[in-house]
Amino acid sequence: MDPLLATTPKEMKFPVSLDWSIGNQTCEQAGNTSICGGNSTCSDSTTRSGYICTCNQGFDGNPYILDGCQDINECTTSNSDHKHNCSDPKTCRNRDGGFDCKCRSGYRLDTTTMSCKRKEFGWAMILLVTTIVFLVILLGVSFIQHRLRRRKDTELRQKFFEKNGGGMLIQRLSGAGPSNADVKIFTEEGMKEATNGYDESRILGQGGQGTVYKGILPDNSVVAIKKARLGDRSQVEQFINEVLVLSQINHRNVVKLLGCCLETEVPLLVYEFINSGTLFDHLHGSLFDSSLTWEHRLRIAVEVAGTLAYLHSSASIPIIHRDVKTANILLDDNLTAKVADFGASRLIPMDQEQLTTMVQGTLGYLDPEYYNTGLLNEKSDVYSFGVVLMELLSGQKALCFERLETSKHLVSYFLSSMKENKLHEIIDGQVMNEYNQREIQEAARIALECTRLMGEERPRMKDVAAELEALRAKTTKHKWSDQFPKEVEHLLGVQILSAQGDTSSTGYDSIKNVAILDIEAGR
């Protein structure tokens, strides 16, 4: 036996290191032709040409086949080189290429010891949580208060609606009849929006009946909104009375009531907007030039007289206005008269000619007989209209303390001037001229008849309107004949011949008849 073999063990182990590479190309040159499988990385050989493949971190296997590199489950492997380092194995969660240590709610991971520790809430977290809780409570309280406030507001509006006679009003307005079909019940919110929260810049005027605002409805239509004075129950009653009265009236020379709002503490009335002020403004105010001609004034007198005659004689229920004055007569762009403010008006039952009421009206226009007896009838309006007619003729106020003691009241001033044959001294200079003196004297006579002390001696409003209409027709005829004398002469000749050939027209007063028909129809 060979001595060498005799001293050599049967099995000997030597360390072996293998080094290889794929091809002669680099990874960049090989590109998509690289044979490296999934979850592996190509790297250039450092000892020779070519490249080698290695599994990615967290994967193990043969990187040279398609799915040779498989994920290592660090949470279950026994290989210490790949085992997880979570302090509690229960917190280990495997993922592709690695693992995570997941702590339960309320704990955080300490990366130094890889153990879970209870979270410590700092002051910032405490403040944040406190703020969130406070806001939630605040929102909840605000929501509850809002709901309670809305409920309270709804109950309050309903209370005001009932207190302001809403139930009775709806019942009355729901009755049949074309005159009240368009009266609308407005809401409180709608009125606030229309007046911009009752802004002072929207105030059109203030007086004994309350404050009037300019309102703009959602359809951009302009209206006048009248609001009673707060705390004055009598004004509330007058407002409701005005709605009930106006719901019975359908006349072109009465300001149109569009609706009302009863949800507020004091009711609101909504009217059509008349933008040229009142007759008082035009006669005595500083906003308008007193440029009303005799024709304008006579036409206004005819319109107001016709309206009052309609209220007394042709309305479904006779109505006494009870506060006729120039401040309650509105004028539109065409200077057409619109009688307004029916808060003091009264409906007269068909079986009564007068009512006993508490005296109400405006000094200077107030019927002295009504003032002394408290008995209200249509002749009280006749007296007030007579004063308005005197104002139209003279341009002076119904009551003026700057005049002489015996002439402070316009009626006394007028009467004394007529007796002394000095009517021309008190007639407005813009009214009288050389052509209309007789018409003015006739109008003055009508005014004096209307203002007689005893109501039974005064004419009915229907007769006053007819006389003024006839006077207006005569005035128009004279004015036209002055401008076109030949045409008038020719027409008069034709009319005379026609009258001679038609005996049936004898005694027929066409002017007066037309006036009466107009009044009865309510025009």
Residues serving a catalytic function are: 323
Chain position carrying tokens 């006839």:
470
> How many other C-beta atoms are found inside a 10 Å radius of the C-beta of residue 2?
7
Question: C-alpha angle 96/99/102, rounded to 5°?
Answer: 130
Beta carbons of 387 and 411 less than 8 angstroms apart: yes
Chain position carrying tokens 């979570």:
86
DSSP string, 282-327: HHH-SSS-----HHHHHHHHHHHHHHHHIIIIISSS-EE-S---GG
What is d(CA 150, CA 468) in angstroms, rounded to the nearest whole number?
57
Beta carbons of 259 and 247 less than 8 angstroms apart: no
Rounded to the nearest angstrom, the gap between the alpha carbon of residue 343 and the centroid of all alpha carbons in its chain is 23
- Burial class of residue 442 in the structure, from the number of CB atoms within 10 Å of its CB (0-12 exposed, 13-18 middle, 19+ buried): middle
What is d(CA 96, CA 78) in angstroms, rounded to the nearest whole number?
18
**3-class DSSP string for 19-39:** CCCECCCCHHHHHHHCCCCCC
Residues in Cβ contact with 149 at an 8 Å cutoff, skipping those fewer than 6 apart: none
What is d(CA 364, CA 372) in angstroms, rounded to the nearest whole number?
15
What phi, psi does 320 have (nearest 5°)? -105, 125
How, if at all, do strands 268-272 and 222-227 pair? antiparallel
**CA separation (Å) from 284 to 61, 398, 423, 445?**
113, 11, 20, 23
Beta carbons of 255 and 330 less than 8 angstroms apart: yes
Beta carbons of 163 and 235 less than 8 angstroms apart: no
Chain position carrying tokens 């489950």:
73
> How many other C-beta atoms are found inside a 10 Å radius of the C-beta of residue 414?
24
